[in-house]
Amino acid sequence: MKLIFLCLTIIGISLFSSCKHTHTYDKFVKELDSLKVVVEQSVINFKTVDSTACYNAYSKQFTYASYINVNLKDTVSRSVANDLQTFYMLGRNMVNYLAMRPVWLAEAQKSINQLTNLSHDLKNGSVEDEEAIEFIGEEKKEAEKIIGELKENTEAIREQMEQFTKTLPTAELTVKKLNNDALPELVKPEIKAQKEMD
């Protein structure tokens, strides 16, 4: 009987210490779970910008800017020049967004997976104490960076698309004047990130 009591006591103590260990990180588990939800919401918001519409806009920008660059020899009014300059400058930002979009989404998905796995491991007590704090810090930092990146680039491309919509009529009118009142066939440009110019 004493042996059974002793075995039950040992099992009880080990279970209690195991439970105590997993509850040590309850606060961090909640933080990680909340952070994961914020990353997921950031991805949803990021995806509200239609990448096909962005590509189609870039195709027009690329085609018309290239045509104007080659064929415009005459002086234009200041307002037309300003619109055309803005229109011309949009290209680099649009193509960089389109090139980086899958990268940002892949990074976000990786972060969601990491947060999920770390939260699961902390709940189960399968992370060493020394490693746990380091892992938590790393994953929080990475998730916060991704949230900021997605927000910043969502706002930036929306602004670029607005600028495109405002300046497109001037670009189209200029192209038509240079091309017997017709717009050239749209080029389907390659999506490759461009370096910033100094």
Residue 99 belongs to a domain: yes
CA distance 126 to 57: 50
Which two tokens mark 98? 């389109």
Residue 162 belongs to a domain: yes
Which two tokens mark 79? 């307002």
CA distance 197 to 97: 16
Mean pLDDT of the 185-197 span: 80
Domain carrying residue 172: 30-178
Residue 98 belongs to a domain: yes
Q: pLDDT digit string (tens) for 138-153?
A: 989 999 999 999 999 9
| Predicted confidence (pLDDT) at residue 61 exceeds the cutoff of 60 | yes
CB atoms within 10 A of CB 63: 19
The alpha helices in the chain, defined as continuous H runs, are 2-23, 26-46, 51-71, 78-124, 129-178
Q: pLDDT digit string (tens) for 67-126?
A: 999 999 888 899 999 999 999 999 999 999 999 999 999 999 999 999 999 888 888 877
Kindly give, in sequence order, each residue whose CB lies less than 8 Å from that of residue 108, ignoring residues fewer than 6 positions away: 39, 42, 43, 46, 146, 150
Judge whether 57 and 151 are in contact, CB under 8 Å: no
CA distance 63 to 167: 14
Residue 11 belongs to a domain: no
Residue 5 belongs to a domain: no
In the block, tokens 């600028």 appear at 163
Residue 73 belongs to a domain: yes
Residue 39 belongs to a domain: yes
Mean pLDDT of the chain: 86
Q: What is the pTM of this model?
A: 0.79
Residue 138 belongs to a domain: yes
